Amino acid sequence: MRIAALLVALSLGGCAASAALPAAAPPVPGVTLTVEGPVAAAPGHHLVMGDLVLPPGAPVPRHRHSGEEFITVIEGSVTLRREGHDDLVLAEGQGIRIAPGLPHSAIAGERGLRAVSSWIVVNGQPLREMLPD
């Protein structure tokens, strides 16, 4: 009965329905890993996904991955530097696949960067291997 009364109050615009939701915490700079697990379609590999947040002008040092990396920009922009390729600026809504083993680095744009990154990692290998500049 109490649940029914609450539903009626909410549907009629009672005070519970007009209460503001608390503001979400601001994203934490760096990479917050959100998902990790095996990839059934790719035996010997696992998926790692993360929320990538960088302040304006923040660098991502040169590195490479054992498997593919996929990046989709949610907010801001990033300049991606890939060995053997011209610099590439990715803006909101744009994404790219980075080939396995390709050395790359990046720098966040003037508004910073928020992106979803996904990595297909070879089992037994680290997520990333840092490289000298």
49-97 confidence digits (pLDDT tens): 999 999 999 999 999 999 999 999 999 999 999 999 999 999 999 999 9
In CATH, the number for domain 23-130 is: 2.60.120.10
Q: Please state the domain extents for the chain.
A: 23-130
What is the per-residue pLDDT for 129?
97
Token match 């994203």: residue? 27
- CA 69 to CA 86: how far, in whole Å? 18
Query: Measuring CA to CA, which residue among 43, 62, 45, 72 is closest to residue 107?
Result: 62
What is the per-residue pLDDT for 10?
43
From residue 55, alpha-carbon distances to 6, 27, 79 in Å are: 43, 11, 13
Mean of the pLDDT values across residues 39-55? 96
What is the per-residue pLDDT for 51?
95
Q: pLDDT category, 19, cuts 50, 70, 90?
A: low
